[in-house]
Structure 1
Amino acid sequence: MRSSLIGLAGLLTLAVSPAFAAGAATQEANKKTVLEFYEAGLNKKDFDAAAKFFGPRYIQHNPTAPDGIEGFKAFLGFLREKFPDSHSEIKRAFAEGDFVILHVHSVREKGTRGRAIVDIFRLEDGKIVEHWDVAQEIPEKPANGNSMF
């Protein structure tokens, strides 16, 4: 009985492994897409370089940002004009299914503490189609000694 269970477990592992590997490969590809998009768009403020990572639509869930691909273009224009030296350092990136989550240290003006941001992207067919984010200012005097990153 025990050897039958071990054999069955081995067969299930073989049957699931290709699907698991394909899912893991897709998640890594999605993560790479979002990281390249972030560098091109948010750091280099290059809409044309960032636009190739969008799907046929882009749904923006941040209530202070305009919706759609043209909304993202307008946001980059705002960054170029108001915060030309802004830079975001990605501290962590996670992929799960069609979602990629980034933990980011964003500094709009040199010499400031900046903000901690969590960006969530949803992809379809390897292209970004949806975005959510939450941002928190980094306080001068935190209530604890723990880093936000």
Structure 2
Amino acid sequence: MTSTETERNRQLALDGFAEFARGNTAVLHTLLREDFVEHSPGNPSGRDAFIAHITKAPVARARLELKRTIAEGPYVVMHYLMIEPGQERGTADVDIWRFEDGQIVEHWDVVQPVPDPGSVPNGML
């Protein structure tokens, strides 16, 4: 994959994240390929099934603060803070997206609760 394609995937992910963070879950209809594959336990594969699931999940109502993005070839990695309504510290999340022809075809994630700041002197994010 060329650096132009890497940057295109990075920008698609950034734009999609920004729209989703603003509450526009409809962006997923164009961003995810119909045969989208989900690797996170409990989340369904397939664009329509995934969208139906994620729009009811806490992430759709959470405040999302993007901290960093790394892109290489078809992969875009996003590290962010997710704070659900009523939470104080939230979770540190890392999403890995694989793009193909301008759409997301696969997703993996890692989610970790943010502990009391005193237990992580160098911070988590």
Q: TM-score scaled to structure 1, two decimals? A: 0.74
Q: Is the 8 A contact 1:65 1:75 kept in 2?
A: yes
Residue correspondences, number:
125
Alpha-carbon distance between aligned partners in 1 of 2:93 and 2:59, rounded to the nearest angstrom: 17
For 1:138, which of 111, 114, 117 is the aligned residue? 114
Q: Residues 45-60 of structure 1 correspond to what in structure 2 (within 5 A)?
A: 45-60=23-38
Which position in structure 2 is the counterpart of 1:147?
A: 123
Q: Residues 1-149 of structure 1 correspond to what in structure 2 (within 5 A)?
A: 23-41=2-20, 43-79=21-57, 85-149=61-125
Q: What is the RMSD computed on CA atoms of the aligned residues?
A: 2.1
Alpha-carbon distance between aligned partners in 2 of 1:72 and 1:45, rounded to the nearest angstrom: 16
Higher RCO (C-alpha 8 Å, min separation 6): 2
Alpha-carbon distance between aligned partners in 1 of 2:102 and 2:79, rounded to the nearest angstrom: 20
Q: Decide which structure has greater strand share.
A: 2
Q: Is the 8 A contact 1:58 1:130 kept in 2?
A: yes
Gaps of 5+ in 1: 1-21
Q: TM-score scaled to structure 2, two decimals? A: 0.86
Larger Rg: 1
Gaps of 5+ in 2: none
Q: Is the 8 A contact 1:53 1:128 kept in 2?
A: yes
**Identity level (%):** 30
Q: Is the 8 A contact 1:105 1:117 kept in 2?
A: yes
